[in-house]
Structure 1
């Protein structure tokens, strides 16, 4: 069965896209822990990030890196953190997290954001790419 991320890639589930190419997709987390919380995924479904082929793994992180300046310009923060957890969705992905303190990296604390706010934020991040 396709993961929720594969359904996003296939357009079956809407998302607030930030950037994409033939191989990767970046979109705002629907249940963020911080404003600008972005997920970066390979379009090809692979469950465990360390099962990605080495070249795909490297390109995933390089693709994620290209998003950081736009995130920093859009969301006031000290830096963009990166996290790989891998338990919540069986599809390799990284979290880009705007951080001002270690508390901002607490995955047990979700913030409330409307679909309209996510759409506006995604548009602003895209405009800063």
Structure 2
């Protein structure tokens, strides 16, 4: 079981932003901006495009709902969707609230937040998701 599957199963703590039976959203622990969220399928699948069309459509609909919650919680021009990353063999979407494209630049310095700040951000998104 990979680290993201353990997070979705509750075996590793995370800052939950949204969930359903198939998908789980939680804060990135190395965020580019406040509200930077990861959305994963609960099913272990390494490559985003290995998902069948129906599952991929449900995944995108779930991510769209999470993005809308992020935008309400953290008013921004847009929420970027980025499918990127080789470090964890589990499909994941980055949702990043942005005022400019620089907010979605993964080369920039990551935010340092306290546990309390992370929890407050996750709670804010979760409340908007519901």
Q: Which of the five TM-score ranges fits, normalised by the shorter chain?
A: over 0.9
* Cα distance in structure 2, aligned partners of 1:112 and 1:11: 23
> Which residue is equivalent to 2:23?
24
3-state DSSP of counterpart to 2:76: coil
* Cα distance in structure 1, aligned partners of 2:20 and 2:128: 17
Contact persistence 1:39–1:96 (CA under 8 A): yes
Greater displacement, 72-81 / 93-102: 72-81
Runs of at least 4 residues of structure 1 off by over 6 A?
none
What stretches of structure 1 of length at least 5 have no aligned partner?
none
Structure 1 length as normaliser, TM-score? 0.94
CA deviation string 1:25-83 (max 9, x = no partner): 01111111111001000000101111111111111111000112221111131110100
Query: 1:111 aligned to 2:98?
Result: no
Q: How well do the aligned residues superpose, as a CA RMSD in angstroms?
A: 1.1
What stretches of structure 2 of length at least 5 have no aligned partner?
none
> Which residue is equivalent to 2:46?
47
> Which residue is equivalent to 2:79?
80
1:17, CA displacement in angstroms? 0.5
CA deviation string 1:81-102 (max 9, x = no partner): 1000131211001010101111
* Cα distance in structure 2, aligned partners of 1:21 and 1:128: 15
Structure 2 length as normaliser, TM-score? 0.93
* Cα distance in structure 1, aligned partners of 2:30 and 2:60: 22
How many matched pairs?
A: 128
Query: 1:34 aligned to 2:40?
Result: no
